[in-house]
Amino acid sequence: MDLVWLRLEQGVSVAMQIERLAPRLRLVPCVVLSDLPTDEEAIAAFSAGARGYCNTHAVAQVLIQVAAVVLQGGLWIGESLMQRLVSATSRIQAQASGAAAEVRPSWSKDLTDREKEVAATLAAGASNKEIARALGITERTVKAHVGAILEKLHVRDRLQLSLVVNGQVPGRPESPGST
């Protein structure tokens, strides 16, 4: 499958630049590259149909990861924007329940106590560094726990995990192939 890489021109709206590619984007996904990436520009890119957004100066290995994620149907979202989305999800859930977001036992039954702590802290909007600091573990250990949690709960990414933990996705997602 093909992939369109769009390097943004400064001073031209993201929407206008993506619109120029509209006929082609019906057939292939688009990743937007920005010399000066911002969350607002990323939101504009995703709103206009982009499937990924990253720094123009990203190293080759990151670009390979971006391509792999997007070609598998995922979105490539920068860490700061992902944190904003997770935090907003947590705040919305807290407002809806009239209290702090509760951790639902149904999603956590297959997780270790430490994985439950990591998942709850992540769902509250914390970055890996913040989770590590709060729980007294290394970032590498946080990454290992997050990977295990995503696998056990059959979710794709931190946003989907946050939605499950915060009760926005009813129950626990079914594993692929289950009925």
Question: pLDDT tens digits, residue range 96-136?
Answer: 665 444 444 578 888 999 999 999 888 888 888 989 999 99
pLDDT for 98? 55
Is-same-fold flag (4-77; 80-165)?
A: yes
Largest interatomic CA distance in the chain: 51
For residue 18, CA distances in Å to 41, 78, 121 come to 12, 19, 36
Band of the pLDDT at 88, cuts 50, 70, 90?
confident
Residue 132: is it exposed, middle or buried by C-beta count within 10 angstroms (0-12/13-18/19+)? buried
In the chain, what are the domain boundaries? 4-77, 80-165
More confident position, 155 or 140: 140
Identify the pLDDT of residue 155.
Answer: 85
Tokens of 103: 């951790």
Neighbours of 46 (CB within 10 A): 18
What is the tens place of the pLDDT at every residue in 54-81? 999 999 999 999 999 889 888 888 877 8
The Cα 112–Cα 73 span in angstroms is 30
- Residues 4-77: name the CATH superfamily: Response regulator (3.40.50.2300)
Superfamily of domain 80-165: Response regulator (3.40.50.2300)
pLDDT of residue 108: 83
